[in-house]
Structure 1
Amino acid sequence: MESTAPVYTLAEGVPYASATTAQHFGGNNIKGLMLLQDTQLIETLAHFSRERIPERVVHAAAVGAWGEFEVTHDISEFTDAKFLNGIGKKSKVLLRVSTVGPERGGADTIRDVRGWGMKIFTEEGNQDWVFNSIPVFFVRDPIKFPSLNRSHKRHPATNQGDSTMFWDFHNNSPEGIHALMHLFGERGTPKSVRHLHAFSGHTYKITKEDGTFHYVKVHIRTNQGIQNFTNDEAVKMAGEAPGIHGADLWEAIEKGDFPSWTVSFQIMKPEQAESYRWNIFDMTKIWPHADFPLIPVGKLTLNRNPSNYFADIEQAAFSPSNMVPGWAPSADPMLQARMFAYNDAARYRLGVNYQQLPCNRAVSRVYCPFQRDGKMTFTDNYGGDPNYVGSDLKPIQYTGKVGAHAYAIGGHEEWVGRVVGFTSEVVDDDFEQARMFWNMIGKEEGQQDKFAYNVACHLGSAIPQVQAKALDMFSKVYPVVAEKIQSNINVLKSKKA
Structure 2
Amino acid sequence: MINNRRFPPNSRGFQPNPPRRQQPMRQRQQSLPENHTASRPEPGEMLTAGNGAPIYDTANSETIGQDGPVLLQDVQLIEKLAHFNRERIPERVVHAKGAGAFGYFQPYESMAPYTCAAFLQDPSRRTKILVRFSTVIGSTGSADTARDPRGFAVKFYTSEGNYDVVGLNLPVFFIRDAMKFPDFIHSQKPSPRTNLPDPERAWDFFSLSPESLHSITWLYSDRGIVKDYRKMDGFGVNTFIWVNAQGKRCYVKYHFLCGEDMDVIDRKEGVRLAGLDPDIATRSLYQSLSEGKPLKYEFCVQLMDPKEADSLPFDPLDDTKLWPKDRFPLKKVGVLVLNQMPENYFAQIEQAAFAPGNLVPGIEFSADKMLQGRSFAYLDAQRYRLGVNFQQLPVNRPAVPVHNDQQDGSMAYFYSSSSINYKPNSLAGNLPLESPSPCTPGMHYAGAVTRSPISKTDDFCQPKERYECMSEDEKNRMADAIGYELAQCNKEIQTRQLDLFEQVSPDMAHRVRHQIMLFETKQRG
For normalisation by structure 2, the TM-score amounts to 0.89
Please give the secondary structure, in 2, of the residue aligned with 1:260: strand
Give the distance between the partners of 2:475 and 2:53, measured in 1 at CA. 66
Q: Deviations over 1:86-112 (max 9, x none)?
A: 113211111111111111111111000
In structure 1, the residue matched to 2:462 is 433
- Whether the 8 Å contact between 1:69 and 1:90 is mirrored in structure 2 is yes
Partner letter of residue 437 of structure 1? Answer: R
| Aligned partner of residue 195 in structure 2, secondary structure | coil
- Distance in 2 separating the partners of 1:298 and 1:89: 11
1:37 and 1:157 map into 2 onto residues whose CA distance is 43
What amino acid does structure 1 have at the position aligned with 2:75?
T
The letter for the 2-side match of 1:465 is: E
Change (3 A) 1:275 1:424: closer
Counterpart AA for 1:435: K
Q: How many Å separate the matches in 2 of 1:93 and 1:5?
A: 36
Mapped contact 2:167–2:237 kept (Cα < 8 A): yes
Contact 1:8 1:16 in 2 (8 A): yes
Query: Are 1:418 and 2:448 matched, yes or no?
Result: yes
Q: Distance in 2 between matches of 1:281 and 1:425?
A: 12
For residue 459 of structure 2, give the secondary structure of its aligned residue in structure 1.
helix
**Where do 1:2-401 residues align within 5 Å?**
4-27=43-66, 31-368=67-404, 370-379=405-414, 381-395=415-429, 396=431, 397-401=433-437
Question: Is contact 1:116-1:131 (8 Å) kept?
Answer: yes
Q: Which whole-Å deviations, capped at 9, do the CAs of 1:321-349 have from their partners, x for residues lacking one? A: 10111111101111011000000000000
SS in 1 for 2:223: helix
**Is contact 1:191–1:228 with CA below 8 Å preserved after alignment?**
no
The match for 2:26 is none
User: SS in structure 2 opposite 1:160?
Assistant: coil
- Alignment coverage as a number of residue pairs: 481
Residue 256 of structure 1 deviates from its aligned partner by 0.5
- Residue 447 of structure 1 corresponds to 474
Distance 1:73-1:454 versus aligned 2 partners, 3 A rule: farther
Quote the offset at 1:74 in angstroms. Answer: 3.0
Q: Could you report, residue by residue, the CA deviation over 1:112-168 in whole angstroms, capped at 9, with x for unpaired residues?
A: 000122110011000000001111110012111000001000112121101110010
SS for the counterpart of 2:416 is coil
User: SS of 2:488's equivalent?
Assistant: coil
CA contact (8 A) 2:313 2:456 kept: no
* In structure 1, C-alpha distance between the alignment counterparts of 2:406 and 2:227, rounded to whole Å: 43
Partner AA of 2:228 in structure 1: S
Contact residue 385 and residue 394 of structure 1 kept, 8 A: no
> 489, 498, 513: which is aligned to 1:486?
513
Q: Which amino acid aligns with 2:43?
A: T
Deviation at 1:419, TM superposition (A): 2.2
Q: What is the SS of the residue equivalent to 2:396?
A: coil
Moved more, 353-362 or 486-495: 486-495
> How far apart are residue 383 of structure 1 and its match?
2.2
How far, CA to CA, are the matches of 1:245 and 1:164 in structure 2?
Answer: 28
Q: Which amino acid aligns with 1:271?
A: K
Would the aligned equivalents of 1:331 and 1:413 in 2 still touch at CA under 8 Å?
Answer: no
Say if 2:522 is the partner of 1:495: yes
Q: Matched residues in 2 for 1:276 and 1:478: separation?
A: 23
Larger relative contact order, structure 1 or 2 (CA cutoff 8 Å, min sep 6): 2
Which runs of 5 or more structure 2 residues have no equivalent in the other structure? 1-41
For the residue of structure 1 that corresponds to 2:157, the secondary structure is strand
Q: Over aligned residue pairs, what C-alpha RMSD do you find? A: 1.6
Of residues 158-167 and 267-276 in structure 1, the stretch that sits farther from structure 2 once superposed is: 267-276
Any idea what SS the aligned residue of 2:407 has? coil
Letter in structure 2 aligned against 1:438? Y
String of CA shifts for 1:145-198, please: whole Å, max 9, x gaps.
000001000112121101110010111111121011100001000121111111
What CA distance in whole angstroms lies between the structure 1 residues aligned with 2:141 and 2:303?
A: 39
Q: Which runs of 5+ in 1 are unaligned?
A: none
CA distance in 2, matches of 1:436, 1:401: 45
Contact map agreement 2:144 2:227 (CA 8 A) in 1:
no
For residues 61-94 of structure 1, the C-alpha deviation after alignment (integer angstroms, 9 at most, x for no partner) is: 1111111111113322111111111113211111
SS in 1 for 2:133: strand
- The farther-off stretch of 6-15 and 445-454 is 445-454
CA distance in 2, matches of 1:89, 1:491: 57
1:181-216 CA-to-partner distances (Å, cap 9, x unmatched) read: 100001000121111111111110111122111110
User: What is the CA-CA distance between 1:452 and the residue it aligns to?
Assistant: 1.1
Cα distance, 1:488 vs structure 2: 1.2
TM-score (norm 1): 0.94
Change over 3 Å in CA distance of 1:245–1:5 after alignment to 2: farther
